[in-house]
A and B are shown apart, each in its own frame.
Chain A
Amino acid sequence: MPISNRVARLRQQSLAAAPAISAERAELMTEFYRQDLGPVSAPVRRALAFKYLMENKTVCINDGELIVGEKGPVPKATPTYPELCCHSLQDLDILNSREKIPFAVSPQVRHVYEETIIPFWQGKSMRDILFAEMTEEWKAAYEAGLFTEFMEQRSPGHTVLDDKIYRKGFLDFKQEIQQSLQKLDYLNDPEAYDKQEELKAMDICVDALIHFAERHAEKARALAEQETDPQRKQELERIAEICARVPAHAPRDFWEALQYYWFVHLGVTIELNPWDAFNPGHLDQHLNPFYQKGQADGTLARERAEELLHCFWIKFNNQPAPPKVGVTAAESSTYTDFAQINSGGLNSDGSDAVNEVTYLVLDVIEDMRLLQPSSSVQVSKKNPDRLVKRAARVIRTGFGQPSIFNSDLVVEEMVRQGKSLVDARNGGTSGCVETGAFGKENYNLTGYFNMPKVLEITLHNGVDPRTGRQIGLETGESTQFKTFDEFFEAYTKQLNYFIDIKARGNNVIERLYANYIPSPFLSLLIDDCIATGKDYHDGGARYNTTYIQGVGLGTMADALTTIKHHVFEQKNLSMGDLLAALHDDFAGHERVRQMLLNKTPKYGNDDDYADEVMVDVFEAYFNAVEGRKNTKGGAYHINLLPTTCHVYFGSVIGATPDGRKAEQPLSEGISPVQGADRRGPTAIIKSVAKMDHVRTGGTLLNQKFTPQLLKDDDDLDKLVHLVRTYFKLDGHHIKFNVIDAGTLRAAQQNPEQHRDLIVRVAGYSDYFCDLGQALQDEIIARTEHLSF
């Protein structure tokens, strides 16, 4: 369907608006924290801070829009969170001037930071506290690039909403809070007082968001009074009515449902900057009853529903991800904030959930072609092939969306982790590929873990060859190992040592957030925080999962295969000679490098020799992480995704035994090493399916297809078959980048002419021209599957 003039204008405005730093939130937060509140508990202090923001932040209603409310004062004005991490003047200058992903910083903003924000927050932000609490071992490993720490810049998030707001208003939540307060047993429950404070804090947040919506109602009424266009006047009056109704009460129609969600979204992302934008999850399932009702009583035409969704989509695109602190000019990051709207999948009774809104949403994704929100189709064996085929048609248009998930497997993963079947079916995926029980889980990604760096340290008996520092265990000189098994055991020891360090850090950081930065607004929305009186950061969620994301599986598989095959079995190369070649970055060892590249079994070709090594790497990582207890009553699990971290992790590692040169990117997700797969997509799928995806919380497989491969209807059917087969083999996720290398090279040469080119980076898509050169080169290098 062609988009309306209104939507075309709003979309264009959203695309044209330059991302900027807004100091409004930082200033309000500083004003609030300067007040002497007397003795207040941490959750109540955070709730009052939230209330202060909701009372004082600018209310924005853009001309012509149907869904209202912005995170900043205007679209793409991005708030900052100095209580978590405070930008330095240097950070601001880099953000303002860097070539990729810039954020405009006005002289006024810079001035406010210099005079007010930085002096107040220096040394007090969560980032400062967090680093002060970490051990020397942790710092050494962190600086060497063994892992990253998500919570040093953003608060624990990674959660998605379920259907509760479509059934209940915030006044209903208020009642539930009162019931919980009345049930507190001060005599027998030693935590009763803490719970009272948390519940009081939640209650303050309920009122704060209702008040925020009412401010929008007032603004809409004022605008309506001045409006001369009768149609717009009527719309503004309706907007005022909606904002006076939701979120206080449950929504009555499609429009109210979307606006309600949007207020909640703003609340969550203004309270804190939780990792991965919150998102509505199974939007098609949530909206379908409202859509059907509107169709039946004649109040909602399909075109209107689509227009409302268009407006809703644009709201996401107006909110760039919060920019980092401690940035370097070279580091580019991304504007996308990983809100992944799920379509399809299963109903809570296990039946096919695909409905009319599912196809409506796919139309909207295709019409909008926006970076945000991200989108996925959840494909169960019970869903029809046409769902996948319709998704393939959108994929073919070449902007990297939607990604495709195996809904049945996602359920199985959650059930294995101990979730109830119904909660699992109501769950899905978010961020890049992460599995979660929507509305009921704090599934917290804590950082990427650099497996090939552990291998490098093992090869050097615990020393990081880049710095000469002994940061790992002394597991033996690698020239002394007699068998591959001995060597692998040394690797496993080093791996467990560094995972111990990471987990110890995580367990401290989890308590820092629970104690200092509780999140009472988010807690309102996630079961069972109200019922238990516990904060989201303090084990209030029904399920609490801690993930450490493994990176470089393909590099590991090929590097260890080299060692096993050439050093220990065929004895084509001594360990000493291999180390010498790595040390010299293969300079003067080109023939050795060619042997490693071309005469070695490689993961990704359905070759059992290399694939079995990959499975060993997977199992070692699983065993090192799985089942450890976190501080919230839950456990650690693994997932395998890199976002863009395989580029950073590669930059801290010298040459590796798979033939990769120093500082080059590692393999990405669970994909084979770039260019090592030579037998096409079916072989890749067979290889990657040899690990047990069920025991992960998400794996990421990218496939790059040139547009020609999806030219005809028949080709789309073949894509459907490919996806179905991967899922039959228990694959978790697959994503297709439809692009040809020639186009990418042209874009690299003439970025001006290819600004609209969106490519799949990892678990998400980004503008190709916004990526750094290394990442651009890496994407070009990913094997193209030309099968003609």
Chain B
Amino acid sequence: MITGLVFDIKKFSIHDGPGIRTTIFFKGCPLTCWWCHNPESQAVGAEIVFGQGKCIRCHACLVRCEQEAISWNGDGVASTDSQKCTLCGQCVEACYTEARQIVGQKMTVAQVMEKIEEDIAFYDESGGGVTFSGGEPLLQRNFLLALLRACKEKEIHTAVDTCGFASWEKLDSIREYVDLFLYDLKLMDDASHRKFTGVPNKLILENLQALSQQGHNIALRIPIIPGVNDDDENLRRTGAFAATSLHLKRVDILPYHYTAIDKYDRLHKVYGLSETRPPLDERMAEIAQILQKFDLQVKIGG
């Protein structure tokens, strides 16, 4: 039975493709973008997170843990020894306040399909469907493929939100079941791309070109991160690439936001853009104008 690791399922998702959608978030991503607003999605395996504010110091987690991985410091705050923790999830079950949560549920295709099908009435009415996002769904290609096929059997519209950093073989295997690619394009300069996402952009650009040549329906999505990729130079290169190499008509520009800062705390990760503020509406409008010069229809927000 094919299973995958899913870290969230969001209903009434209205900015990830047409209509009212359900978005399935896959765990694991090959990129480590500094601005990532789902940092819990990056690691490939499941993780246990702890929200101190909800903890009522009942110690049930400590009592339940058979690995003796949980200890308490002087402030009455639990800490978990990741060397001992086997991610068995017992402590999460014992934690009634939901202070301890497991990020990444192992699910079967049937389990995910059951969730997707719950909102079919809304897809029908709105021309919506399902969006596979992440993380990077192509990291769990077999699981993704099985879900896409199951959706197509039931005539459910599918979108895949991808960073594009996957082998062509993988993309090629799923593309016939995908109605819409939501394709993220972050930086045209390879060195900057490596710096801010951790990987080169060559494969990403090649895959995008290949998908475009095959005539796929692609919505290009550019997150606008001040100080990272919002300079005119990068925007002009992006516009030129989209218009001349891809023959795309439409791009979405998504303003950066920092609502995920406290998620980094909970994951004990460092947020590299803590000084960065969201772009002003005026700047977003200017960016839209720059891209419009390449004959692109630009939408601010997804």
Do the beta carbons of B19 and A787 come within 8 Å of each other?
no
Do the beta carbons of A721 and B19 come within 8 Å of each other?
yes
Q: Inside 8 A of B96's CB, which chain A residues have their CB?
A: 591, 594-595, 597-599
Do the beta carbons of A591 and B56 come within 8 Å of each other?
yes
Distance in angstroms between the alpha carbons of A212 and B118 in the assembled complex? 60
Q: A563-598 vs B: 1/0 string, CB under 8 Å?
A: 000000000000000000000000000110011011
B10 at the interface (CB under 8 A from A): yes
Do the beta carbons of B118 and A725 come within 8 Å of each other?
no
Do the beta carbons of A725 and B12 come within 8 Å of each other?
no
Do the beta carbons of B125 and A728 come within 8 Å of each other?
yes
A486 at the interface (CB under 8 A from B): no
Q: Inside 8 A of B125's CB, which chain A residues have their CB?
A: 721, 724-725, 728
Q: A671-710 vs B: 1/0 string, CB under 8 Å?
A: 0000000011111001000000000000000000000000
Distance in angstroms between the alpha carbons of A718 and B58 in the assembled complex? 43
Distance in angstroms between the alpha carbons of A722 and B13 in the assembled complex? 12
Do the beta carbons of A715 and B14 come within 8 Å of each other?
yes
A766 at the interface (CB under 8 A from B): no
| Selected contact of A686 from candidates B98, B119, B126, CB within 8 Å | B119
Quick one: given A591-B60, A712-B301, are A679 and B121 in contact (CB under 8 Å)?
Answer: no
Q: Inside 8 A of A785's CB, which chain B residues have their CB?
A: 12
Do the beta carbons of A598 and B97 come within 8 Å of each other?
yes
- Size band of the interface chain A makes with B: 20 to 34
Distance in angstroms between the alpha carbons of A729 and B13 in the assembled complex? 20
Do the beta carbons of A606 and B19 come within 8 Å of each other?
no
Distance in angstroms between the alpha carbons of A597 and B96 in the assembled complex? 8
Do the beta carbons of B122 and A722 come within 8 Å of each other?
yes
Q: A599-610 vs B: 1/0 string, CB under 8 Å?
A: 100000010000
Distance in angstroms between the alpha carbons of A715 and B12 in the assembled complex? 11
Q: Inside 8 A of B11's CB, which chain A residues have their CB?
A: 679-680, 682-683
| Selected contact of B20 from candidates A590, A591, A599, A721, CB within 8 Å | A721
Interface size in chain B (residues, C-beta < 8 A): 23
Distance in angstroms between the alpha carbons of A681 and B121 in the assembled complex? 13
B15 at the interface (CB under 8 A from A): yes
Distance in angstroms between the alpha carbons of A714 and B10 in the assembled complex? 19
Do the beta carbons of B122 and A721 come within 8 Å of each other?
yes
Least distance between B256 CB and chain A CB atoms (Å): 13
Quick one: given A718-B126, A725-B125, are A598 and B98 in contact (CB under 8 Å)?
Answer: yes
Residues from 285 to 302 in B contacting A, C-beta threshold 8 Å: 301
Q: Inside 8 A of A595's CB, which chain B residues have their CB?
A: 96
Quick one: given A598-B98, A721-B20, are A681 and B12 in contact (CB under 8 Å)?
Answer: yes
Distance in angstroms between the alpha carbons of A717 and B14 in the assembled complex? 10
Distance in angstroms between the alpha carbons of A118 and B148 in the assembled complex? 76
Quick one: given A682-B20, A718-B20, A785-B12, are A590 and B56 in contact (CB under 8 Å)?
Answer: yes
Do the beta carbons of A680 and B12 come within 8 Å of each other?
yes
Least distance between A481 CB and chain B CB atoms (Å): 25
Distance in angstroms between the alpha carbons of A595 and B97 in the assembled complex? 7
Interface core residue of A717, A722, A725, A785 (most chain B CB under 10 Å): A725
Q: Inside 8 A of B15's CB, which chain A residues have their CB?
A: 788
Nearest chain B residue, comparing its CB with the CB of A788: B15
Q: Inside 8 A of A594's CB, which chain B residues have their CB?
A: 56, 96-97
Q: Inside 8 A of A788's CB, which chain B residues have their CB?
A: 15
Distance in angstroms between the alpha carbons of A255 and B301 in the assembled complex? 47
Residues from 763 to 788 in A contacting B, C-beta threshold 8 Å: 785, 787-788
Nearest chain B residue, comparing its CB with the CB of A689: B121
Which secondary structure dominates chain A's binding surface?
Answer: helix
Q: A613-634 vs B: 1/0 string, CB under 8 Å?
A: 0000000000000000000000
Least distance between A619 CB and chain B CB atoms (Å): 23
Do the beta carbons of B121 and A728 come within 8 Å of each other?
yes
Nearest chain B residue, comparing its CB with the CB of A715: B14
Do the beta carbons of A721 and B126 come within 8 Å of each other?
yes
Interface core residue of B20, B56, B98, B122 (most chain A CB under 10 Å): B122
Residues from 718 to 734 in A contacting B, C-beta threshold 8 Å: 718, 721-722, 724-725, 728-729
Q: Inside 8 A of B121's CB, which chain A residues have their CB?
A: 686, 725, 728-729
Least distance between A684 CB and chain B CB atoms (Å): 9
Distance in angstroms between the alpha carbons of A788 and B255 in the assembled complex? 12
Least distance between A771 CB and chain B CB atoms (Å): 28
Q: Inside 8 A of A683's CB, which chain B residues have their CB?
A: 11, 118
Residues from 106 to 165 in B contacting A, C-beta threshold 8 Å: 118-119, 121-122, 124-126, 128
Do the beta carbons of A725 and B10 come within 8 Å of each other?
no
Nearest chain B residue, comparing its CB with the CB of A717: B126
| Selected contact of A722 from candidates B20, B98, B118, B301, CB within 8 Å | B20
Nearest chain B residue, comparing its CB with the CB of A600: B96
Residues from 157 to 176 in A contacting B, C-beta threshold 8 Å: none
Q: B192-218 vs A: 1/0 string, CB under 8 Å?
A: 000000000000000000000000000
Q: Inside 8 A of A591's CB, which chain B residues have their CB?
A: 56, 58, 60, 96
Quick one: given A591-B56, A722-B122, are A787 and B97 in contact (CB under 8 Å)?
Answer: no
Distance in angstroms between the alpha carbons of A86 and B295 in the assembled complex? 75
Nearest chain A residue, comparing its CB with the CB of B121: A725
Least distance between B149 CB and chain A CB atoms (Å): 24
Interface core residue of A714, A715, A721, A728 (most chain B CB under 10 Å): A721
Distance in angstroms between the alpha carbons of A725 and B120 in the assembled complex? 10
Q: Inside 8 A of A715's CB, which chain B residues have their CB?
A: 14
Distance in angstroms between the alpha carbons of A724 and B20 in the assembled complex? 12
Interface core residue of B11, B56, B98 (most chain A CB under 10 Å): B11
Q: Inside 8 A of B128's CB, which chain A residues have their CB?
A: 721
Quick one: given A590-B56, A598-B98, are A686 and B12 in contact (CB under 8 Å)?
Answer: no
Do the beta carbons of B98 and A718 come within 8 Å of each other?
no
Nearest chain A residue, comparing its CB with the CB of B128: A721
Q: Inside 8 A of A681's CB, which chain B residues have their CB?
A: 12
Q: Inside 8 A of B301's CB, which chain A residues have their CB?
A: 712
Q: Inside 8 A of A679's CB, which chain B residues have their CB?
A: 11
Least distance between B105 CB and chain A CB atoms (Å): 15
Least distance between B281 CB and chain A CB atoms (Å): 12
Do the beta carbons of A787 and B119 come within 8 Å of each other?
no
Distance in angstroms between the alpha carbons of A740 and B169 in the assembled complex? 47
| Selected contact of B118 from candidates A686, A721, A787, CB within 8 Å | A686
Distance in angstroms between the alpha carbons of A722 and B19 in the assembled complex? 10
Nearest chain A residue, comparing its CB with the CB of B15: A788
Nearest chain A residue, comparing its CB with the CB of B97: A594
Least distance between A326 CB and chain B CB atoms (Å): 43
Q: Inside 8 A of B98's CB, which chain A residues have their CB?
A: 598
Do the beta carbons of B60 and A682 come within 8 Å of each other?
no
Q: Inside 8 A of B14's CB, which chain A residues have their CB?
A: 714-715, 718, 787
Q: Inside 8 A of B126's CB, which chain A residues have their CB?
A: 717-718, 721, 725
Distance in angstroms between the alpha carbons of A681 and B118 in the assembled complex? 13
| Selected contact of A787 from candidates B13, B56, B58, B122, CB within 8 Å | B13
Q: Inside 8 A of A721's CB, which chain B residues have their CB?
A: 19-20, 122, 125-126, 128
Distance in angstroms between the alpha carbons of A712 and B301 in the assembled complex? 10
Do the beta carbons of B118 and A606 come within 8 Å of each other?
yes
Least distance between B297 CB and chain A CB atoms (Å): 14
Distance in angstroms between the alpha carbons of A597 and B98 in the assembled complex? 10
Do the beta carbons of B58 and A682 come within 8 Å of each other?
no
Distance in angstroms between the alpha carbons of A39 and B239 in the assembled complex? 93
Chain A residues engaging chain B, CB cutoff 8 angstroms: 590-591, 594-595, 597-599, 606, 679-683, 686, 712, 714-715, 717-718, 721-722, 724-725, 728-729, 785, 787-788
Extra 13 A-B pairs, beta carbons < 8 Å, given A591-B56, A724-B125, A787-B12: A590-B56, A591-B96, A598-B97, A598-B98, A599-B96, A679-B11, A680-B10, A680-B12, A682-B12, A683-B11, A721-B122, A721-B126, A725-B126
| Selected A-B contacts with CB under 8 Å, 27 pairs | A591-B56, A594-B56, A594-B96, A598-B97, A606-B118, A680-B10, A680-B11, A680-B12, A682-B11, A682-B119, A682-B122, A683-B118, A686-B118, A714-B14, A715-B14, A717-B126, A718-B126, A721-B125, A721-B126, A721-B128, A722-B12, A725-B122, A725-B125, A728-B121, A729-B121, A785-B12, A787-B12
The 9 closest A-B pairs by CB, nearest first: A721-B126, A594-B96, A680-B12, A595-B96, A725-B125, A594-B97, A682-B12, A680-B11, A682-B11
